[in-house]
Structure 1
Amino acid sequence: MRRSLVLLSAGLTVLSTGLASAENNTPRNLILFIPDGLRALKITPETAPAMAEVRDKGVNFKNSHSLFPTFTMANGSAMSTGHYLGDTGVFSNTIWTNYTSAPAGNTVVPFIENDAVLGDIDEHFKGDYLNEETVLKMAREKGLSTATIGKVGPAYQFDHTDHPDKPGRHSIVIDDSTGGKAGVALSDEMKDALTKAGLPVVAPSRGDNAKAGDAKTPGTTVANVAQQAYFADVATKVVLPMFKARNKPFVLVFWSRDPDGTQHNQGDSLNQIMPGINGPSTMASIKNVDNNLAQIRKALDELGLAATTNIMIQADHGFSTISKESKTSPSAKVSYDDTPKDFLPMGFVALDLAKALDLPLFDPNDKNAAVTGNNHPKAGNGVLGKDPTKPDLVVATNGGSDLIYLPNRKLAAKTINALLEQDYVSGLFVDDSLGRFPGTLPLSSINLRGNAATPTPAIVVNFRSYASECGEAPTNCSVQVADTVLRQGQGMHGSFSRGDTYNFMAAIGPDFKAGYVDELPVSNADVGMTAAQLLGLRGSRNGGLVGRVMSEALPNGVTPKAFKAVERSKRKSANGLETVLNLQRVGSQRYFDAAGFPGRTLGLEPESGKQKTAGK
């Protein structure tokens, strides 16, 4: 409780400085522009001129941070609320909900990038699974015009409660599901406006961009151009003119699937580490999202809104190339029809733990069918135990890290020891309530233990990462082991690599400094707090794991001091491993650079001598 009060007090202190434009006489607008999966150092005037201009003429947040686990919905929850994941409960894109979600395919481990699934989880968790108010909802309730456009799941998460089936009582939501059965209903005003603008009321699909290929067939070689052109047209030809006509402040969230979607599915590098996510498909996807931003900024100019509109650009996470290699994994030594020889299969964590713990494995994405012989779970998720409806252990597969839940808490030590034997593991984080284990750090050390409504994982498993010889900065060359259906050479994120935590961030507008390089650490939780500050919003808080207002980036704002620290396991494991966390601090706020076993995580190099230990 004391820690929560300190954080809350710190946030209120900054909020009371009177920096917000809403405290002044001139009302401001805000656009939150999220280029999903954009690495900080991929932006140059040549690769992405529109984003480079915002960074260079506005504020360059050069010490930016995604929250771990570095996944879309997790970081979307931080941006939308200003809270860390221990409060929002969005620990990854796939979580264990401890009930069967019908819209997710009758599974207890739903993939939550889906509007219907989010609605179902909201209903189960007393109407709001985030357990914290979002910026967009607060803005809407204050009377501002609000809209969220783009990628299904994170776009809707910005305003996911309060009768989305009743248009007019909710923010405008336009995403992949718009016009379909699972989509948020459109108001008659929006339908008429779309029709008058010559735009369909049904969102287009991704087309060839959605093709991920398989072990023998390359994935996509085209960016998500058509779908995002539709979203950009909706924003510039319908929503912004509508907001202009209303003559009151507005908030617009634009969540671009590119470069994330293309980097995931790219077919430039089938089963090969090089070029990985640095091939032509990725570069086309970065240019695609840059074109979307340029279109939005041009519309602001033409509508006379540029002078009163702040634009904040922040990627949810960085990105890495997938590795499927392991010398220790039992599952990599088994032959699978859809997996190249000696590569890790989908669901390797569930398979390896079932073997190590000598427990039956069932597939929660296949009606709890037993997983035996040369088979693996369809989506990688697994429930372990004699009765799949009452499992001892649950694995939620996500990519560069996995979540492990332990209904049977007695399995904690044995599970941890089994994971420490695998070369694909680089760092373990364990629920504080289970106690301290050699070689691990507690969830609280990375703000994953808070006031979440959803179940808190018992163990978060970070996977090994390193830099390839791609000829660029190490964070642009990040490679990681990933528990995913995607193939070696394609793209993934989710790890504690600095390649995944280093996201692009920039801002421009009347309430930001011009030509300012911010050296202080900032995070996606700070985005939510700063957005609320700029809009003069004051929401209630259930948890105290909050970000800070990035006051140093605002005119006449306070510039606090930052400090570096290192935290490590109290004791090494029997095989000499320890989880090490490199972080920075600004007051009570914590910013996580990289974590894992030294030498197995990009940004956490092998230690040549004893480093100073802080905190833990």
Structure 2
Amino acid sequence: MVLPKIYKSFLIIATVTLITVLAVSGFAKTKPQHNVIIFITDGLRPSKVNAQETPNLHEIRQQGVSFVNSHSLFPTFTTANASAIATGHYLGDTGDFSNTINVGFPVQSASNSPVPFLENNAVLEEISQHFDGNYLNEESLLDTAREAGFSTAAVGKVGPVLIQDVTQRTGKSTIIIDDATGSPTGIPLSSEIAELLTKNGIALKSPTRGDNGKSGNSTVPGTKVANIFQQQYFADITTKVLLPLFKKRQKPFVLIYWSRDPDGTQHNQGDSLNTLTPGINGPTSLAARQNVDNNLAQIRAVLKQLNLEASTNIFVTADHGFSTISKESKTSYSRTLDYPDVMKGFLPPGFLAIDIAHGLGLSLFDPDKQNVVVDPTQGQFSKNGLIAKEANKPDVLVAANGGSDLIYLPNSTNNKALAKQVVDILLKEDYVSGLFVNDKLGSIPGTLPLSAIGLDGKSDLPSPAIVVNFRTFDTGCGDPTACGVEVADSSLQQGQGMHGSFSRADTYNYMAAIGPDFKKAFVDRVPVSNADVAITLAKTLNLNIPHQGKLIGRVLHESLVKGVKKVSFKSNTLTSQPSTNGLKTILKYQTVGSTQYFDVAGFPGRTLGLAK
């Protein structure tokens, strides 16, 4: 039968309308929309995951994808890798070079210091406002998902949680709950979330860490307990409020859960005061690993109860590895002086700034205390250091971080000459193992350029002139990445915990994934890093994160259900020209296409993973 033209037109319109309705309602979709949970186990080492002590972390690795060639970005610090996990960019693009950085202006919320500690919401907000609302200058996975209509939330450790969606500081869109919730620096709770917390008997103010926050001193051991109470608060919010709310909304979601344990406990643990063994491998650190495993188990159980397990990808990663602190040196001028609360002969906090000031014959000032004079000969030291003849005309600015430090040359008219002077001083110190110099300062023997390690990109923040990696070694336990030791510029004691170095103990982080888009019982031997997390998960969600810079990770195709079966990669070595005393900075890295993965770097024999 031949239909009249008017009926043909009506039939076409009706068909198109029906297809549209079906598509909107979801019936016409060939692939259901999935959810994502990124679970960050701050400072977890892969070799410390096993069936007996951490059964849930072990199960994900066994039943899902186990990334056995994983990498943290250097410098191996929390906010630095938080920026990579959030955006998929290397640090040269995000500008988050370490936990403490030079931002180029006095930060009021950090006592007018130009080198603030970034694990603070007020600091992050002030810096972002200074840089057009987003100091990272890159869009995050949460930002992209939120704009696409997903429910979004970030819960846990203050600092890295807000970094996941740093432009959302009102609490009206992405839900932000961290250590500061309910305090003057906390991100506000929406009326909806506040009502749900109250309904479920959960306080509107985050609890403190209690005894877990006690780091001790040179004569009093640090904590002997894990961060159980505070983390239970975050786990309860996730399982009793957020996941049921997301289920009720019937929209896909992306949730970031940032566990402070085992990191916070490993930093402060009191099992090894002033001794290198057991270091971070004592019973308190074990309790912290079990604590985070219990939190993960609670989240997985509720996903199953809500029938969300089959539609939710869980990607577990650690921002960095971990090492035991050493305070020993035979060459440092700083260790020859006496300080209160510092073991005689040990390096004091701020030792790098003290040694550089002494080497240059200049005065030392404290940028965190209105540039007051610091006189090491009188037992004085500071965390960060401003080095100059006059405080208002700084020649050198040192941002102390831990297993590595950042050096800036803010106002010098002869940067190349001054950089060479500083490098010459550093090459004489036995605690230094590898130096990286800003490309604009030219080639200096004994050093490699920042561009070689992904630190030279599109960042709006000031770039370091020199990045100093400190000496690392192991205690001989038979598993170097589990028993790593590093000289650390920190107020913590020898025997406590730190990270930040370029040793394999710090770059080797736990990574695993499970869910509908990931292969089952698959061991991925291809190199991966924290910069790949957001890029890969965006792929599973059919999202495209916009990019400003070009230093980005890759989609982990080999780990996905419909991905490729084989990905080729290469191992590479880059060696600097030798310095006058014969020292060379050596970098070992891997490549997948143009994407780089940094294994270890430093002076042979002074970096764990680089044999002499």
Q: Shorter-chain TM-score category? A: over 0.9
Deviations 1:166-199 (A, max 9, x none): x32x210110000010000000000000001110
Matches within 5 A, 1:335-484: 335-375=338-378, 379-407=382-410, 408=412, 409=415, 410-469=417-476, 471-484=477-490
Instruction: Note closer, same or farther for the CA distance 1:472–1:186 as it changes in structure 2 (3 Å cut).
Output: farther
Mapped pair 1:145 → 2:145: no
Distance 1:241 1:383 in 2: 50
Q: How does 1:4-23 map to 2 (within 5 A)?
A: none
Rounded to whole Å, the distance in 1 between the matches of 2:214 and 2:429 is 32
* Counterpart residue identity of residue 572, structure 2: A
Please show how residues 148-159 of structure 1 align to structure 2 within 5 Å.
Answer: 148-159=154-165
- Letter of the aligned partner of 1:445 in structure 2? A
Following superposition of structure 1 onto structure 2, how do residues 140-539 of structure 1 map, counting pairs within 5 Å? 140-162=146-168, 164-165=169-170, 167-168=171-172, 170-375=173-378, 379-407=382-410, 408=412, 409=415, 410-469=417-476, 471-539=477-545
Name the SS of the counterpart of 1:76 in structure 2.
Answer: helix
Structure 2: how far apart are the matches of 1:181 and 1:375? 37
Supply the distance in 2 between the matched residues of 1:421 and 1:356 (Cα, whole angstroms): 10
- The CA distance in 1 between the partners of 2:217 and 2:459, in whole Å, is 37
| 2-structure distance, mates of 1:318, 1:387 | 39
Query: Which shifted more, 259-268 or 125-134?
Result: 125-134
The one-letter code of the counterpart of 1:242 is L
Q: Structure 1 residue 386: deviation in Å? A: 2.0
Among 75, 81, 86, which residue is 2:81 paired with? 75
Match of 1:116 in 2: 122
| Residues 1:50 and 2:56 aligned together | yes
CA contact (8 A) 1:32 1:254 kept: yes
Alignment deviations for residues 290-322 of structure 1 (CA, whole Å, 9 cap, x no partner): 000000000000011000000000000000000
How far did 1:270 drift?
Answer: 0.4
Structure 2: distance between partners of 1:205 and 1:88: 30
Write the distance in 2 (CA, Å) between the matches of 1:394 and 1:597.
24
Distance 1:345 1:25, change over 3 A: same
Q: Distance in 1 between matches of 2:107 and 2:51?
A: 45
SS in 1 for 2:482: helix
Are 2:535 and 2:545, in contact at CA under 8 Å, matched by a contact in 1? no
Q: Answer whether contact 2:405 2:467 (CA < 8 A) is retained.
A: yes
Verify: 1:597 aligned to 2:600, yes or no: no
TM-score (normalizing by structure 1)? 0.93
**Contact 2:337–2:379 under 8 Å retained in 1:** no
**Displacement of 1:234:** 0.2
- Counterpart CA distance in 2 for 1:374 and 1:47 is 48
Bigger CA drift: 196-205 or 371-380? 371-380
What secondary structure, in the 3-state scheme, does the structure 2 residue paired with 1:103 have?
A: helix
Q: Give, as a single letter, the amino acid of the residue that structure 1 aligns with 2:252.
A: P
Task: Quickly say closer, same or farther: Cα 1:231–1:452, change in 2 above 3 A.
Answer: same
Q: CA deviation at 1:466?
A: 0.3
Structure 1 residue identity aligned to 2:544: R
The 1:348–1:136 alpha-carbon spacing in structure 2 relative to 1, beyond 3 Å, is same
Report how far residue 422 of structure 1 moved. Answer: 0.2
Going from structure 1 to structure 2, the CA distance change for 1:24 and 1:112 (only over 3 Å counts) comes to farther
Taking structure 2 as the reference length, the TM-score comes to 0.94
Structure 2 counterpart SS, 1:542:
coil
Q: Deviations over 1:410-460 (max 9, x none)?
A: 310000000000000000000001000100000000000000111000000
- Contact 2:90-2:553 at 8 Å conserved across structures: yes
Please tell me the residue identity of whatever aligns with 1:247.
Q
- RMSD over aligned CA atoms reads 1.2
Output one character per residue of 1:448-501: Cα deviation in whole Å (capped at 9) or x when no partner.
0000111000000000000103x3411000000000000000000000000000
Counterparts in 2 of 1:536-555, with a 5 A limit? 536-555=542-561
Answer whether contact 1:78 1:85 (CA < 8 A) is retained: yes
- Which segments of structure 1 move beyond 4 Å, counting only runs of 4 or more? 375-379
1:356 aligned counterpart, secondary structure: helix
Q: Note if contact 2:435-2:466 (Cα within 8 Å) is conserved in structure 1.
A: yes
Instruction: Name the residue aligned to 2:24.
Output: none
Measure how far apart 1:377 and its partner are: 6.5
Q: CA deviation at 1:556?
A: 2.6
Amino acid at match of 1:438: P
Q: Of the two, which has the highest radius of gyration?
A: 2
**1:373 Cα shift?**
4.0
Cα distance in 2 for residues equivalent to 1:67 and 1:322: 20
In 1: Cα distance, 2:241 partner to 2:500 partner: 35
Residue range with higher mean Cα deviation, 385-394 or 312-321: 385-394
For 2:444 and 2:548, the matched residues in 1 are separated by 30
1:109-135 CA-to-partner distances (Å, cap 9, x unmatched) read 100001110000001112110010010
Q: Which residue of 2 aligns with 1:610?
A: none
Give the direction of change, closer, same or farther, for the CA distance of 1:202–1:463 in structure 2 (3 Å limit). Answer: same
Q: CA deviation at 1:70?
A: 0.2
Aligned position for 2:133: 127
**CA shift for structure 1 position 25:** 2.4
CA shift in 2, pair 1:375/1:476, >3 Å? farther
Percent identity, aligned pairs only, is 57
Counterpart of 2:402 in structure 1: which amino acid?
A: G
1:347–1:377 CA contact under 8 A, matched in 2: no
Alignment correspondent of 1:18: none
Q: Contact 1:379/1:397 (CA < 8 Å) preserved in 2?
A: no
1:375: how far off?
5.0
Distance in 1, Cα, partners of 2:479 & 2:542: 39
Secondary structure, in 3 states, of the residue corresponding to 2:155?
strand
Q: The residue matched to 1:138 in structure 2 has which SS?
A: helix
Asked whether the equivalents of residues 363 and 377 of structure 1 are also in contact (C-alpha less than 8 Å), the reply is no
CA distance in 2, matches of 1:329, 1:23: 66
Q: Are the aligned partners of 2:338 and 2:379 in contact in 1 as well (CA < 8 Å)? A: no
Instruction: Give the structure 1 partner of residue 96 of structure 2.
Output: 90
Q: State the distance in 2 between where 1:373 and 1:439 align.
A: 29
